[in-house]
Structure 1
Amino acid sequence: MSETPGLDLAAFRTWYDGQRPGEIAGELSGRLIAGGRSNLTYELSDGTSAWIVRRPPLGHVQATAHDMGREFTVMSALAGTDVPVPATYAHCADTEVIGAPFYVMERIEGTAYRSASQLEPLGPERTATIADRMVDVLVALHAVDPAAVGLAEFGRPQGFLERQVRRWGKQLEGSKTTDRPNADELHRRLTERVPADDDAWAGIVHGDYRLDNLLTGSDDHIKAVVDWEMATLGDVRTDLALLLVYDQIAAIAGGALVADVSRAPGYPSPQAHLDRYAATSGRDLGDMGFHLGLAFFKLAVILEGIHYRFLQGATVGEGFDRIGAGFDPLISAGLDALGED
């Protein structure tokens, strides 16, 4: 079996040599990096230099998801800001090259902490430091003026929350594996409670911000934020809410589904994250109930989409047989976050 399923190395090299002649100096080899549950990520090397390539998953793909151009554009724009991102090298929209769009970026030395077992050897103090820096980088991202980095047209902040509720409802309809009445109820309540637009909270939204979408160096500093496939312009509180939901999923639905870093000794509580974000940004977060309800719904729909692809036999990696179990607990938590009608 190929070590790079979904990436023809010969076809890639021919294309990349045309983009950046002479950069690949020796025989090219590669491997699929384990752990990805959405876009596929590969590490390529010629024995001296290394590159990272990203492409959409094999098989079922929602029309609005897995946009390689978005990832490439936002990371390119953020180069030189206080937000650490890999250097971007080339983007290919032509599906004839390897069968899907893809892009190439810098390989960053760092650890994507996904489990408490990875953090535990560091000790509580270092774990707390890494988590605090994760929040600080999020604050830095939300402080970037989109227009100043050429991203004024990257999204439409006006009506963002209403579109998010509509979009994730549509995503669920496109990937349902069975009837989901509680999810329909949560979607109804979210639709009825969409807050008015608040320009003070408009900015660059990562869309999937959590510790294992960061690369942390051996010095415990955040070296890069990666996995920008859901990035846009909108209400940045959605990033913070989703981070809190990711931290709670280990207790709600089992850590193996996504991550269980929040179980590591020293990892801050959700309230500590909120307090640090507010203190570092100087912003009053207000009531986060709607944002949390939306975050629970969004994550549940993402898991359902992954589960759908698993049932279709169109996934690469381990753990997909358990991914669907997280749906109902997340929907219930979303209903709780919103409270009664």
Structure 2
Amino acid sequence: MGLDTEAVTGWIAGLGIDFTGPLSFDRIGLGQSNLTYLVRDQDGNRWVLRRPPLGHLLASAHDVAREARILSALESTDVPSPRVFGLTEDPAVTEVPLLLMEFVDGEVVDRMPLAEALSEDRRRAIGISLAQTLAKIHAVDLEQAGLDDLASHKPYAARQLKRWGGQWEQSKTRECPDLDDLTRRLIAAQPAHTETTLVHGDFHLRNVITSAESGEVVAALDWELCTLGDPLADVGSLLAYWPAAGEDTGGDFPASALPGFPSREEISRIYLEATGRDPAALKFWHTLGLWKIAVIAEGVMRRARDEPQNAAESGTPTVERIDALVAKAREIADQAGI
């Protein structure tokens, strides 16, 4: 689906990669944005291929070529990430950009049975490593990595509110007065912009590969939303994806509510101790993280409705899940005086 496998096989051969054909291409992962495929040869060698989703795309979204640039730059840093083998936009091979990268062995904890099978010690190790990996991402020297011009250095909150507010208007399937009210409140409460770092943009448990032995993050994935901005935005996003027991924002994946996984408070503390950053704006970024996930989920729901082949095997977000995210965001905003 979405690939001319014969043309792609020829392109891979042209990269100088040795393989025993024919290659197989299987859709993997639960991601519902860029499509991801496991590529295998007859000897069991593996690679990963990425392409944008099918159908109409919003401007600037799903930029696989940009993701390739970021991953290539990260190869010289401490950030765990897969190595890039090639990128093509050749119309003889593909109608959209294709990115071929390293297959990193490990475990993606993206389903509840996988999370439930982990020991409590392993769950705790994964949670701690998530916070530590964010600290590594935010420590990247932008000039040395060649990423200083990746995005604007203007205040990040304003950029995020403009971008995702615009995405909501383009992709919404209904009116949602509570989200509109939250957008207005966030615009009025923007914190001062004091620091610019690399920002992953969508960092959470399902977007990392962890060691099957130690639980340590061995690769951070899905860099398509990566930009330059306020590092606490990534922390807020991780907290937004980290429901506690009894909360209903996790949809089909409330893994962080299982015993052993650190609490949101502990994850924040580990990150702040590693970086020395001021937590004053963290509740703003937690609120914005929930708001942003709700906007993204609405877009996923819209794309799956318009083009059913984009839907991942886990299904698509529901109106009820999106409304729960908005309600939780409003709750955090109330606590913070936003």
Pick the TM interval, shorter chain.
over 0.9
* TM-score in terms of structure 2 length: 0.93
Residue 103 of structure 1 aligns to a residue whose secondary structure is strand
Q: Matches of residues 83-232 of structure 1 in structure 2 within 5 Å?
A: 83-94=79-90, 97-199=93-195, 202-219=196-213, 220-232=215-227
Instruction: Return 113-122 or 268-277, whichever deviates more.
Output: 113-122
Q: Check 1:321–1:38 CA distance in 2 against 1; reply closer, same or farther (3 A cut).
A: closer
TM-superposed CA distance for 1:17, in Å, is 2.7
Residue 333 of structure 1 aligns to a residue whose secondary structure is helix
The percentage of counterpart residues that share the same residue type is: 35
Match of residue 276 from structure 2: 282
In the alignment, the residues of structure 1 paired with residue 175 and residue 91 of structure 2 have an alpha-carbon distance, to the nearest angstrom, of 34
TM-superposed CA distance for 1:321, in Å, is 4.7
Q: What is the letter of the counterpart of residue 299 of structure 2?
A: G
Q: Deviations over 1:96-143 (max 9, x none)?
A: 522211200001111111244323333211210111011111111111
Match of residue 27 from structure 1: 22
Match of residue 78 from structure 2: 82
In the alignment, the residues of structure 1 paired with residue 169 and residue 46 of structure 2 have an alpha-carbon distance, to the nearest angstrom, of 40
Judge conservation of contact 2:25–2:39 (CA < 8 Å) in 1. Answer: yes
Match of residue 291 from structure 1: 285
In the alignment, the residues of structure 2 paired with residue 290 and residue 327 of structure 1 have an alpha-carbon distance, to the nearest angstrom, of 19
Residue 31 of structure 1 aligns to a residue whose secondary structure is strand
Q: Matches of residues 233-244 of structure 1 in structure 2 within 5 Å?
A: 233-244=228-239
TM-superposed CA distance for 1:254, in Å, is 5.3
Q: Matches of residues 247-262 of structure 1 in structure 2 within 5 Å?
A: 247-248=242-243, 251-253=246-248, 255-257=250-252, 259-262=253-256
Q: Check 1:125–1:21 CA distance in 2 against 1; reply closer, same or farther (3 A cut).
A: closer
CA RMSD of superposed structures (Å): 1.8
Structure 1 gaps, min length 5: none
Q: Check 1:22–1:109 CA distance in 2 against 1; reply closer, same or farther (3 A cut).
A: closer
Residue 256 of structure 2 aligns to a residue whose secondary structure is helix
Judge conservation of contact 2:240–2:287 (CA < 8 Å) in 1. Answer: no
In the alignment, the residues of structure 1 paired with residue 316 and residue 166 of structure 2 have an alpha-carbon distance, to the nearest angstrom, of 24
Alignment length (residue pairs): 333
In the alignment, the residues of structure 1 paired with residue 90 and residue 244 of structure 2 have an alpha-carbon distance, to the nearest angstrom, of 37
TM-superposed CA distance for 1:249, in Å, is 7.9
In the alignment, the residues of structure 2 paired with residue 162 and residue 125 of structure 1 have an alpha-carbon distance, to the nearest angstrom, of 40
Q: Check 1:263–1:116 CA distance in 2 against 1; reply closer, same or farther (3 A cut).
A: farther
